[in-house]
Amino acid sequence: WSLSANVGKGSVNASGAVAPKLAVSGSLKDLDIGQLVGFWPVVPSEGFDGTVSGSFTGEGAWNAPLLAGDLNYGGTALLGYPVQSIAAKWAYAAEKLSVTDLAAQVLGMPLTGQMSMAFGEKAPVVDIALSGSGMKVEELKKISPNLGEIFLS
């Protein structure tokens, strides 16, 4: 099977087999993050500006899929926070989402690192390791005027 769809000003393309085993690949191009958030009613649609692109693959059994891909975001805001860019590789297997080679520009500061989120019967367990330098106090003051003063003292 194959799928090509325009979603707003962006597009989604995918092809492959879904049975008897999953063997798919595809791409996302210039999807509006604000429109995507609309699919999750519990997330407020305000505070999102930018587009997301990437590629993905899926293989294995339906009840234990192996999913992977890369993701690139460019814009001005995520959840109301000034996030200019994010690029990362991701993989999902055995109820665990792993994000590696993470590079982001947040609050005017470059960040690198990795993260994971393990799902199960209880609340997800999140592990994040980020590092950054070159923080701009002016950008921090956009979030909270007092925050910049904390870093200056």
- Summarised one tens digit per residue, pLDDT across range 54-92 is 999 999 998 899 999 999 999 999 988 889 999 999 999
Distance CA 140, CA 21 (A): 48
Residue range(s) defining the domain that contains residue 98: 2-152
33 by DSSP, 3-state: which?
A: helix
Distance CA 117, CA 133 (A): 25
pLDDT band, residue 153 (cuts 50/70/90): very low
Q: Do 28 and 10 form a contact (C-beta atoms < 8 A)?
A: yes
The tally of domains found in the chain comes to 1
pTM of the model: 0.84
